[in-house]
Amino acid sequence: MADQVAKLNHLKIAPRKVRAIAGIIQGLSLNEAEAQLLMQRRRAAQAILKLLRSAAANAKNNQRLEPEKLFVKSIQVNQGSMLKRYLPRARGMATPIEKKMSHITLILGEGGEKRDSRFTIVIKKKTKLHKEEKRSKPSKNKNKANEETFGVENKKDPGFFKKVFSRKSGIGN
């Protein structure tokens, strides 16, 4: 069984925050770990997802491993270097601020059998718009957008809360 190691050094997120996300994907298959990271809303998930995809691509190309058999064997998050800054306080004092960084080590292992994936991950590819599509795209001009949405044909009552909490509406509107 071959292992694929990927490292990410000097990630500008505190290790405690990264470990919370790293613990979720420990021991999962590659596909399930990627699905879990896509659903996370924390900032560290994006960096770990990028590292996971990099390790999977390296395992596929360099060691000729099958992506269906790969799983997250271990993920380790260590303290990196710190940027030390100071905040001025009262009476000429200064409070130290430590901006912490993380070092992440991800090890992908190859399992014995292929695992059925429970998820299908669809990655949207960016495409360039043609000239005709750019013209038909709605403009960002506020006046035109308001005319389209609040036109004479489809004018709707904005509702009670919109009237009450609108900044520019008066009491008698």
pLDDT score at 150: 46
pLDDT 10s per residue in the chain (173 long)?
Answer: 689 999 999 999 999 999 999 999 999 999 999 999 999 999 999 999 999 999 999 999 998 888 889 999 999 999 999 999 999 999 999 999 999 999 999 999 998 777 667 777 777 788 877 777 666 666 555 555 444 444 444 455 666 666 666 666 555 55
44/22 Cα distance (integer angstroms) = 9
Q: How far is CA 53 from CA 3, 60, 107, 145, 168, in A?
A: 15, 11, 12, 40, 49
User: For the chain, what are the domain ranges?
Assistant: 3-110, 131-165
The pLDDT score that the predictor gives to residue 157 is 61
pLDDT of amino acid 113:
75
pLDDT at residue 121 in the model: 74
pLDDT of residue 152: 46
Query: For 9-12, which contacts have Cβ atoms below 8 Å and span 24 or more sequence positions?
Result: 9/80, 9/103, 9/104, 10/80, 10/81, 10/101, 10/102, 10/103, 11/44, 11/47, 11/80, 11/101, 11/102, 11/103, 11/104, 12/99, 12/101
CATH 3.40.50.1370 correct for 3-110: no
